[in-house]
């Protein structure tokens, strides 16, 4: 099997994923998963599609992450891994779709408007 690649995005984070056959090693920006995401919750989020299909020990995964914060990055990696697994085996798509791993979350930060301190907050109104 050759290397399969996919891209996942969430908020401002972008994840490029390269999946190849191997022993289950996940490398993010040339660091292992545990050192890049010390939080066990974020590690769990990245591994969710693999655990759903029981292929955790089957593939080596190399991820390039940039932009956003750690939560957005972990969810971008999850989407990219799900997309790569669908490229490898299209029959897995309904199982991943039912868990919501295939859907790109479109929510991003709303832009700041001129004449306001934030996107929706307004300066205090003074009648006099």
SS3 55: coil
CA angle, corner 66, sides to 61 and 72, nearest 5?
Answer: 85
The answer to whether residue 36 scores a pLDDT higher than 80 is yes
Band the pLDDT of 45: cuts 50, 70, 90. Answer: very high
Beta-bridge partner residues of 7 = 16
Q: Is 72 left (phi over 0), alpha (psi -120 to 50) or beta?
A: alpha
Band the pLDDT of 2: cuts 50, 70, 90. Answer: confident
The pLDDT tens digits for 79-92 are 999 999 999 989 98
Is 65 in contact with 33 (CB distance < 8 Å)? no
- Closest residue by Cα to residue 4 from 116, 108, 91, 82: 82
The pLDDT tens digits for 89-109 are 899 899 999 989 999 999 999
**pTM of the complete model:** 0.90
The answer to whether residue 66 scores a pLDDT higher than 80 is yes
Is 124 in contact with 117 (CB distance < 8 Å)? no
The pLDDT tens digits for 16-34 are 999 999 888 999 999 999 9
- Closest residue by Cα to residue 63 from 2, 12, 1, 4: 4
Interval 66-73 mean pLDDT? 93
């Amino acid at each position: 099997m050759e290397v399969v690649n996919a891209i996942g995005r969430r908020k401002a984070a972008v994840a490029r994923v390269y999946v190849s056959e191997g022993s289950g090693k996940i490398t993010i920006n040339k660091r292992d998963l545990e050192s890049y995401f010390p939080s066990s919750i974020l590690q769990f989020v990245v591994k969710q599609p693999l655990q759903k299909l029981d292929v955790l020990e089957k593939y080596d995964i190399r991820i390039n992450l940039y932009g956003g914060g750690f939560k957005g990055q972990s969810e971008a990696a999850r989407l990219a891994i799900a997309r790569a697994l669908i490229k490898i085996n299209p029959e897995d798509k309904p199982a991943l779709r039912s868990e919501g791993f295939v859907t790109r979350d479109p929510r991003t930060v709303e832009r700041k408007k001129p004449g306001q301190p934030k996107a929706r907050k307004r300066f205090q109104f003074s009648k006099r």
